[in-house]
Chains A and B, each alone.
Chain A
Amino acid sequence: MHSNIIIIPMMVALLIPFYEAYRDDNVWQKLLAFSSIACKTALITLVASVLRDDWMIGVVGVLILSVGNAGLMLLAHIVKRVNEA
């Protein structure tokens, strides 16, 4: 019950960058939407793990939170190189 109250608004917030990634045609706007989605999904994982009192899922949530950012930076640099050439 409590978990539904918290997670359902988070899910609705997740839908906004989803729509943006579908609609916008600029590569940077899409990347921005992706970064937002990556952060939000990791945080939903973390909240679900804490509410279920499940340590294993929580560790995975934190790992996804930090690793997703690293991958995004890599992708941003490659896209920048492509735009320059």
Chain B
Amino acid sequence: MSNGSFYIDAIALLLPLSAAMVVTQANPYYSLITRGILGAVAALIYTLLGAADVALTEALVGTLLAIALYAVAVRSSLVMRLGVLQDEVPKNAATSTPDHAGEGTGNRTDDEAIAHPFNQLLTELRTLFNQYHLRVELVPYDNPQLLHQALLQKDIHATCVHASIAAAPYQLTTRVRRLYEILQAGLSPDLIQLNHVTVSDAAASHYQPSDIGSVLVGEEKS
């Protein structure tokens, strides 16, 4: 045992190294993978020092369970839900359900579909939000009332509809101040017209169906 301490010391140096890699990683998915590396190295050191039970716990809970839970949490929280109208979206745009997107819908390189202004806008949005590690998820709605209601009830973060009179072809309304700032800094104003609405918690919870009429009027005016 005494002659084994040399390489244990050397391996122990890997632990702070991988921990520093986890901390300095900006992308959440990269840091998850690096966390797995940290767990593997930690389990190795614990076993070499003779603590088999600690190593098993580190591998099962610290690495397997923590990574699985954090991966699901990161995937479901780092997302911008963009509400759109069903008939304004081209058929092959990726919708909210990934199962449909997986079955070759994205593979078809339809020239008409690529040239569609909505898809161009979507590409712009995705490249912009990729810098912030956000996914853009489309949530289709049947009519403007439902769309606006979803925004007020905080089901979605922003809505994107056709602007009939404005200079830009699309109008994007968001209720999150930070999203508005990011969009304003990253997108050109002739591509999209940006709005910011303040949705209070009270408005979200005490929303009455009778308000739909006024909402509808406001929507048609734009």
Contacts and interface: CB of A to CB of B under 8 A. Distances in A.
A59 B72 CA distance: 30
Contacts of A22: 21
Interface in A23-59: 25, 27, 30-31, 33-34, 37-38, 41-42, 44-45, 48-49, 52, 54, 56-57, 59
Contacts of A64: 40, 43, 55-56, 59
Interface of A is mostly: helix
Contact of A60 (B14, B36, B47): B47
Chain B interface size, under 10 / 10 to 19 / 20 to 34 / 35 or more: 35 or more
A79 interface: yes
B119 interface: no
Given A1-B3, A71-B64, A78-B75, A85 B56 contact: no
Contact of A3 (B3, B21, B50, B55): B3
Contact of A67 (B6, B50, B64, B72): B64
B43 A45 contact: yes
Nearest to B30: A30
A7 B7 contact: yes
B32 A75 contact: yes
A16 interface: no
Contacts of B17: 18
A11 B37 contact: no
B34 interface: yes
Nearest to B43: A64
A4 B3 contact: yes
A18 B18 contact: yes
Contacts of B33: 21, 27, 30-31, 34, 75
Contacts of A4: 3-4, 6-7
Nearest to A51: B4
A13 interface: no
Given A27-B30, A75-B36, 9 more contacts: A21-B33, A41-B43, A54-B50, A61-B47, A67-B64, A78-B72, A81-B98, A82-B75, A85-B101
Interface of B: 1, 3-4, 6-7, 10-11, 14, 17-18, 21, 29-30, 32-34, 36-37, 40-41, 43-44, 47-48, 50, 52, 55-56, 59-60, 63-64, 67-68, 71-72, 75, 94, 98, 101-102, 135, 137
17 contacts: A1-B3, A11-B7, A18-B37, A21-B33, A27-B33, A31-B33, A34-B33, A41-B40, A41-B41, A45-B48, A60-B47, A63-B59, A64-B55, A67-B59, A67-B60, A71-B63, A84-B94
